[in-house]
Structure 1
Amino acid sequence: MISYRLKSARTKAKLTQEKLGVMAGIDESTARSRVSQYENGTYSPNFDTMCHFARVLNVPECYFYILDDEFAEKVLALYHASKAPSA
């Protein structure tokens, strides 16, 4: 997992670490510290947890795993374009 992308997506969504954790199903008493540890790269969440984060943050799951930053941003843009309402 590319840890700084989690923080970037969270801040773009204007969520605190605690709020993101709780919305992703982490117990409120540990949500802030766990998300902080994930964002700092101290620990890596399992794929299921990352899927919950992706759903809450409205990003594709793969966004957190793509090594190339430019490609990750293109995937994110494509994801959002595919979710846009059709005219």
Structure 2
Amino acid sequence: MFQRRLKEARLRCQLSQKELGIQAGLDPFVASTRVNRYELGVHEPDIATIERLAAALGVPTAYLFADDDRLARLILAFERLPASEKDCLLKAIES
């Protein structure tokens, strides 16, 4: 699922693989190849790289691992809410 979410988020941000890699702090000479391999599932980045990729894409790290499309959408929507609204939503869901 990580591979698919990474590619979807990158395309939504209208970034090339190289641009994303560079924004995430990868060496510019290998950025495109590395992101391509992450998206294809050939290699899996370490957690620090995943966090930098998520930050560059403006998404929570959890979004990249959500195995359900509804959950992924919920994670993105929840992240955009102010803290007070997050608290109210959590109270409503938990009760």
TM-score (norm 2): 0.81
Amino acid at match of 1:27: D
**Uncovered stretches (5+) of structure 2, i.e. residues with no partner:** 84-95
Structure with max Cα Rg: 2
Amino acid at match of 1:22: I
**Uncovered stretches (5+) of structure 1, i.e. residues with no partner:** none
Give the ranges of 4+ consecutive aligned residues of structure 1 lying more than 3 Å apart after TM superposition.
none
Count of residue correspondences:
83
Amino acid at match of 1:75: I
CA RMSD of aligned residues (A): 1.4
TM-score (norm 1): 0.88
Give the structure with the larger helix fraction: 2
1:8-87 alignment to 2 at 5 Å? 8-82=8-82
Change beyond 3 A, Cα 1:40–1:82: farther
Q: Percent identity?
A: 37
Distance in 2 between the 1:82 and 1:10 partners?
24
